[in-house]
Structures are given as structure tokens and as C-alpha cells.
Amino acid sequence: MTLEAGARQFDAVHSQALAQVDAGLDTSVAELGRMIAVDTTFPPGEGYDGFAALMEEMLAPLGFETRRVVVPEDLWRVEGGPASGARVNLVADMAGEKPVCSLYFHIDTVCAARGWKRNPFRLTEEDGVLYGLGAADMKGAIAAAIHAVRCARQAGLELAYRPRFLLCTDEEGGLYPGIRYLAEQGEIGGHLLNFNGSATPRIWGGCFGSFNLQVTVEGHAVHAADGNRAGRGVNAIEAALPMMQAVQDLRPAVSKRVSALPAAPGAAPLAAQISITVANGGTCGGQVPDRFVFQVSRRYAPEEDFVQVRAEIENAIKAAAPSGAGLRLDLVGHLTPTADPEGPHYPRWIRAVQEGFGYAPGDFSKWGAASASDSGYVQQAGVAQEIILGGLIRPSSNAHGAEEHTTRNDLAALAKTILTYLSAGFEPELNPDL
């Protein structure tokens, strides 16, 4: 019988494990602080090796065996691109005969935005709110999952699955995300839980794809006083201006391309997007700049064709490029769309979310997003169509912005959700693997 959230009677061992989540939460908060202190910002993504070492230290006492999987450099490196450093992914397995359940986390964060009043690389707690870069997206989810496994282990709770942690690189815009490489190498077992999602009662309906196109404009440096003389310098910034305007001129047509993916309740239909997100050039005021680089970010609907969308942008830029300036176009990041990921494990996951967060069955709704995920590569590799999405992100979390945060309550709620879902005694009639 399916009961309202909070009405289920768990056995003594499960109840003990849930109680331990609250009793031992200080340990989880401290572990989150250690994670946040390791700089894994992308770009450039040079902290992955150090983060893998930290995860090995935390997971070994819980019975996990770990192995590092490094994405080959020729798959992700672009000359002059934003990425650098080894792309170290960590796969952590438990021994046993139970079916595998893969738990996915990306270890990279965006760069710290301007406006932080607190140190983004130091966890700051104020009245139960946990501030730090990656607290919500998504190091907090890693801390919650580790805590869930620890509490289950301490209580002696029998699990329905062997959890396999996939700690992956380059979700935040990389050219060859770690989860793509793991999928192609057969490192994903069982069904997949993706914790790059929301703490709200949501059923994931899929998402857009996205890519970042880096535009490098080469000029010729001379003294600024000679910059306007014929045959002298070529100002790379001024040469880039009509190209950037050409990108802006595409926006009205792009924004009219609406997807059939369901939007969030009360939100406008999901539409394609284009914007310039990075711009760098020039060295000093007395010199004509000889190089200018900008990035075009394009969110494309599942109904759009990536090759055509990319060509549309590149053709517009090339047509606007003035003579005398060099031009190079490089794809430096790409996430493919994720098709409807709902599958047979979703009903049991939703029940676990009800127990962990206290939601009622009627609170849940299904919707997609114009944001992108690297989960599309898992589907593309033929590993799994079903991908369950959960996590700690809320509209108020300010993920990707200054003062990103989660809360103690949500950290505990997600840990209880994961513990409950992994438990052998929880809703066995809903478990398609029995």
C-alpha cells in the first residue's frame, strides 16, 4: 500500500540509520567544507587530481574501492581553449553480489562570480545556511551521498543495491565531459541517479543541449598613436565588434524556436537561447590590441540540429569579419540534449524523495529545462535511457552566482532520500530489479 509521505513505518534498523543522519550531520558538513576548499573551477579544471585524492580518503573507510579514469588529452584539449590539467574522474565501487546503482556527481564548479561577500572556497555556516562555491551545485550532493552510505553502514542496514559513485569532470561546459568517457568505456552499471538537479518535487522531463564556440580574432599590435594609419595596426577588438553584433542579430530568430519539452509550472515555453558569455582582449592603453577572444553560448532545443545551429553562428561571424583580421573558430564545450529520461525506477525514487524531504504525492510535476546536462551522452552511448534526477538546487540557492548555498535541512533530507532509496526493505514491490 502506498502511504502519504511521513506515514510509513520503517523497521528498527532503517529508523536507526535515518536517526544517525541527523545525529552525525556535523561530520557531513565538515566533509563538505573540505570539498569546497579544493578549487575545481572550470575553466580551467586544474583541481581534479586533488579532489580525487580527497574522495579516495573519504570513501575508503566506507568499504569503497576506487579507480581513477583519465580522459585522454586529445579528446578535450583545444589550442588556446579554456581547459587545462588532467581530467581525473573517480569511480568508487562496493564489493558484493547486489545489483549496481550508479550515483553520478560532477566535481567541477563554475568560476566564482563577482559579488561574493564570503570566501567562496571556505564553507561558511550562518543559521543553518551553508555558503560556498559548489554547496548546491553539486559538492553538497556528494557530501549527502557519502553520509547516507556511512549511516547505513553504521546501522547495519541491508541495501538493495551496490552504490557506484561516479565523480566526473567538465560538466560545466567542457568539450568532453567525464561521464561521456565513462559511458563509452562501460564504467556505468545498473541504472543512473544524477544529483545535478533540484531539491524540489520534480520529475525530470529532459533538457536542451548547449555548446560554447570560442572566437579568436587576430590583429596586429602597434603603438596606439599609429593605430589609425593605413597599413599599420589592426585593432582586434574593433575587428571583433561587427562579429559580436552579428551574434546579437541572430537572437530574435533564435528565441522564436520553442521546444515541445514541458516547461515548469507557470513558466513560459522553453525557447532556444544565444549569448556572448566571455570576452577578453588588449594588454595596455598605449597599444593597439592584437588579439581578442569571445565565446558564444548557444542553448539548443532537442528539435534543432547541432550541425546546422553551429553553422548558422559560424557563417554569421565569418560574413561580418572585416578584412585584415585573422579569425579562428573553435568548439570548446558541448553538452547534447537529454531525451525524456523517465523509466521503471522513477516511482520508487519519488517515494524516497517523499520520505526524505516530506513532500506529498500531489506535489510532483514533470518538466524539462533549457539548461543542459551531460546525461545526454549516457543515452547517446546506449548505456541507459532512464536517468533519475535529484539534488540540492533550489531557485533560492543562487547556484552559479555569488553566495551560492544550501542548508543543513536539505543536506539531511537528501541523505535520507538516498539512504531510503538504496535500502532493501523500502517499497520492494516498486523495485523493478527484484
pLDDT tens for each residue of 251-267: 999 999 999 999 999 99
- Picking from 344, 347, 352, 348, the residue whose alpha carbon sits closest to that of residue 5 is 352
**Average per-residue pLDDT for the chain:** 94
- Picking from 433, 215, 421, 182, the residue whose alpha carbon sits closest to that of residue 327 is 215
- Same-domain check for residues 346 and 418: yes
216: CATH: 3.30.70.360
Cis peptide before 44 (omega within 30 of 0): yes
| Region 106-124 average pLDDT | 97
Is residue 30, in this structure, part of any structural domain at all? yes
- Same-domain check for residues 346 and 328: no
| Res 236: pLDDT | 93
What gap in Å lies between CA 251 and CA 255, rounded to an integer? 6
What gap in Å lies between CA 232 and CA 221, rounded to an integer? 9
- Same-domain check for residues 345 and 315: no
What gap in Å lies between CA 342 and CA 319, rounded to an integer? 43
| Region 83-112 average pLDDT | 97
Cell of 29: 558538513
Q: Which domain holds residue 217?
A: 208-335
- Confidence band of 314 (pLDDT split at 50, 70, 90): very high
What b/e readout covers 289-318, taking b as 16+ CB neighbours within 10 angstroms?
Answer: bbbbbbbbbbbbbbebeeeebbebbbebbe
DSSP SS3 for 225: helix
pLDDT of 6 above 60: no
- Same-domain check for residues 276 and 424: no
Domain end (from 286, 319, 335): 335
- Same-domain check for residues 229 and 116: no
Is residue 2, in this structure, part of any structural domain at all? no
pLDDT of 5 above 90: no
Instruction: State the burial class of residue 114 (Cβ atoms within 10 Å of its Cβ: 0-12, 13-18, 19+).
Output: exposed
| Region 311-318 average pLDDT | 98
Is residue 6, in this structure, part of any structural domain at all? no
| Region 45-50 average pLDDT | 98
pLDDT of 23 above 50: yes
Condensed to tens digits (0 to 9), the pLDDT of residues 179-231 reads 999 999 999 999 999 999 999 999 999 999 999 999 999 988 776 566 555 55
Range in 24-28, 58-62, 103-107, 230-234 the model is least confident about? 230-234
pTM: 0.93
Q: What is the helix (H) or strand (E) element at residue 64, kind and residue range?
A: strand 64-70
- Confidence band of 155 (pLDDT split at 50, 70, 90): very high
Instruction: State the burial class of residue 416 (Cβ atoms within 10 Å of its Cβ: 0-12, 13-18, 19+).
Output: buried
- Same-domain check for residues 24 and 170: yes
| Res 221: pLDDT | 73
| Res 4: pLDDT | 44
pLDDT of 1 above 80: no
What gap in Å lies between CA 378 and CA 386, rounded to an integer? 10
Domain end (from 335, 351, 373): 335
Is residue 311, in this structure, part of any structural domain at all? yes
- Same-domain check for residues 260 and 316: yes
| Region 136-158 average pLDDT | 98
- Same-domain check for residues 43 and 181: yes
- Same-domain check for residues 55 and 79: yes
- Confidence band of 2 (pLDDT split at 50, 70, 90): very low
Is residue 321, in this structure, part of any structural domain at all? yes
- Same-domain check for residues 38 and 180: yes
> How much of the chain exceeds pLDDT 90, in percent?
90
Domain end (from 307, 335, 363): 335
**Cβ within 8 Å of residue 283, ≥6 positions away:** 289
- Same-domain check for residues 51 and 157: yes
Is residue 7, in this structure, part of any structural domain at all? no
- Same-domain check for residues 231 and 202: no
Is residue 5, in this structure, part of any structural domain at all? no
| Res 228: pLDDT | 55
- Confidence band of 304 (pLDDT split at 50, 70, 90): very high
| Region 89-104 average pLDDT | 96
β-pair type (291-300, 202-218): antiparallel
Radius of gyration of the chain (CA): 23
Domain count, the chain: 2
Condensed to tens digits (0 to 9), the pLDDT of residues 346-389 reads 999 999 999 999 999 999 999 999 999 999 999 999 998 999 99
What gap in Å lies between CA 204 and CA 339, rounded to an integer? 10
Is residue 1, in this structure, part of any structural domain at all? no
> How much of the chain exceeds pLDDT 70, in percent?
96
